[in-house]
Amino acid sequence: MEITFKGQAVELSGTPPKVGDKAPNFILKDLNDQPHSLEEMQGKPVILSVIPDIDTRVCALQTKRFNQEASQVSDVYFATISNNTKEEQANWCAKEGADMLMLHDPENKFGESYHLYIPKRDHFARAIFALDQEGTIRYEEIVSEISHEPDYEEALKQVRSLLA
């Protein structure tokens, strides 16, 4: 799959999972080095907010938006995933006052299994996945231009529909 970064074409490492697919399981660590898996999140809807680099403007906006939503909705798991280091994520969270689940993947395991890794940039594509209580993808957006924000409202609408 090809997307763009500031108008330049970049290639993903494969084809990301689509709506209707069972989301690939992963195990990633949070800022306290505690492992989290997708399997343990089952039972509640999940939003996976995937960002290229926490230290950039659009990634900060995306993370702040979902941090705000996570503080208001207790029946949904929210996780932000990037291939930043734990230290980079922790420094950003401390500076911004964010307290949502931040998962780091500097080894690109998640990026490769979800086919969101961009080898040319050594970062992930910007994406959102909304999963149902069983881990099936009900909404996905791979943002076609990495420097643009995702459609927050649509992702939130989809995940809220799972609570009804």
- Catalytic amino acids? 59
Contacts of 132 (CB under 8 A, 6+ apart): 45, 138, 162
In DSSP terms, 104 is beta-bridged to 29, 82
84 is written with which tokens? 């930043």
Distances (CA, A) of 83 to 42, 76, 101: 23, 23, 14
Q: Does residue 56 contact residue 43 with C-beta atoms inside 8 Å?
A: no
Q: Which amino acid is at 57?
A: R
Q: Which amino acid is at 33?
A: D
